[in-house]
A and B are shown apart, each in its own frame.
Chain A
Amino acid sequence: MKNALRLYITFIPTRVLPWLVLVVYPIVITLLSITSGGYLWTEFLVMPFVYMVELLLALIMFRELESKEPVRIEYIHSSAKGMHAFGSVMMADIIRRFITALIIFMTPAVWYGGLHMGGSGRITLEIDGETAIENVSPLCNMLVIFALLSVIELVGYLIKRIRSGALVLTAAIIGYIILTAFGFTPFGIPGKLLPAAVVVAALIYLLIVILIYKAVMKHEKEKYYDSQG
């Protein structure tokens, strides 16, 4: 675990970025969420921000390594532990992203004992005269986390392999549209079904992570073989 973290930090390309990635950015965004009163509308401002930051980090940190071109880091590839080292860096990045999202989105929920829809105090949302949503369960935030991370993993994988700036931007925008469209869905789910929905979302996220991890490791193994000849 310690070695995975040390190795992960060496993969971050600047001296300042590890501090920004691991410490500053999660803390600043979490404080922003807390100090805004734990209102859900801030969560929806934070969500696109986290999405864009994570995609930017993916491009900065791993684009060259995970691109379609066979960039081979000979020192790592000559070690018997090379593949394992690369895999542990990938896992560390995935775990870092999950923990960051957990901290950013769950801290306000825990702080305020639940989330509010907006405005001052608790607001009840009425649809057709019927009370639709009163207080928002933190489980809704868990759904948002898994949805956000799933889209980040998918879009992140694609943009690292695309060379065209226009296509990168297109992929990122499509991901953002999907997130926005999903945005309020968790809050329409009846309370009794929320735990099951969270479990399903977690499983989908895990499946996406496993598939992407396997795809990237397969691509890394292929670097031992030339595309020519």
Chain B
Amino acid sequence: MDTTSVIEVNNLSKKFKGFELAIDELNIPEGFATALIGENGAGKSTFINILAGIRRDYEGEVKFYDGSLGEKELRESIGYTGTDCYFLPHWTVGDVETVSGILFDSFHDDRYRKLCDDMNITERNKAFSKLSDGMKMKTILSAVFARDTKLLLLDEPASPLDPLMRDKLCGMIREYIDEGNGEKSVLFSTHNIADMENVTDYAVIIEQGRVVEQGFVEDLKEKYVMVKGELGEGHTDVRSIAEQTLHGCTFSQYGFEGLCQADSIERFAEMDIAVETPTLSQICVGVMKKYTVLR
């Protein structure tokens, strides 16, 4: 699929003690919802912080819209949600409205109030630090969606939300992209893609600070297959083939199951197996298992 890129990353490197985020090349397509998937500590938040401009000590190149926007215009066009110290702890919903109107030219206070109503943010005079995690995220999302932006960078937006609100968030993201007619994009990070799978167009799997897989979801579902089979008699050979071929292969008394690339399926010829189209969640788990250091 020919697409333009909203974000282009080349030779990005950010070092910490005992960890390095190193992305050689990554292009986030414009006009789609991209999921940045990885286990805890994979580097997702660090990467999003760099894109949002709140971390500037990195090496490499990060370009937005082919470098056509100035810094001020770029920051106005990006809506970012974070997970750390996002607002001042004592700010109320009203304070967020006041500050947002000053910090961002494109903030609409009427839209913000409507979003607060729609998301049922009830405790409007309570300090932000005293809100539940779900209410905090709803307030943050209201502030971001109340602006006219072209790119949303959402760091773990679904984690603190209940299932109903996650579904609503997916709807908001889809509506945001549809309204943009190909000019609005969303990049969100998650460590639980199952909740956001129905809104994901493009997936980037990051593990140990490196991009290990990326692609449009439909392409990834053609690239990988889910294989289930029985061990049967002489199962040593079957087990050996499964372990060598499948990502994240699991065995039980009944058989085996795992992810493999579609072009490797011929290795299971003459075996009694079932081949299914994997979900994005299964693809992510299988790929992450291949690269994880978890035992």
Contacts and interface: CB of A to CB of B under 8 A. Distances in A.
Interface stretch (B14-22, B31-39, B275-283): B14-22
Contact of A75 (B53, B56, B86): B86
A47 B15 CA distance: 50
A228 B55 CA distance: 12
Contacts of B52: 74, 78
Contacts, number: 83
B142 to A, nearest CB: 12
Interface string A19-49: 0000000000000000000000000000000
A81 interface: yes
A71 interface: yes
B99 A75 contact: yes
Interface string A67-87: 000011111111111100100
Interface stretch (B74-82, B114-122, B219-227, B284-292): B74-82
A74 B82 contact: yes
B54 to A, nearest CB: 4
B98 to A, nearest CB: 6
B103 A226 contact: no
Given A78-B52, A78-B75, A224-B56, A7 B102 contact: yes
A224 B57 contact: yes
Interface string B59-97: 000000000000110111010101011111111000100
A78 B144 CA distance: 11
A6 interface: yes
A224 B56 CA distance: 6
B104 interface: yes
Interface residues of B, number: 35
Interface stretch (A8-16, A132-140, A144-152, A166-174): A8-16
A226 B16 contact: yes
**Range class of the A interface residue count:** 20 to 34
A14 B130 CA distance: 13
Nearest to A13: B90
Given A6-B98, A85-B103, A72 B85 contact: yes
A164 interface: no
B103 A73 contact: no
Contacts of A78: 52-54, 75, 78, 80, 82
B7 interface: no
23 contacts: A6-B98, A10-B95, A11-B88, A71-B85, A73-B86, A73-B87, A74-B49, A74-B84, A75-B87, A77-B54, A78-B78, A78-B80, A79-B75, A79-B104, A80-B71, A80-B72, A82-B103, A85-B99, A85-B103, A224-B53, A225-B55, A228-B17, A229-B17
Interface of B: 14-17, 49, 52-57, 71-72, 74-76, 78, 80, 82, 84-91, 95, 98-99, 102-104, 140, 143
Query: Which 6 residue pairs are nearest across A and B when measured between Cβ atoms?
Result: A80-B75, A225-B57, A79-B103, A74-B82, A13-B90, A80-B72
Interface of A: 3, 6-7, 10-11, 13-14, 71-82, 85, 224-226, 228-229
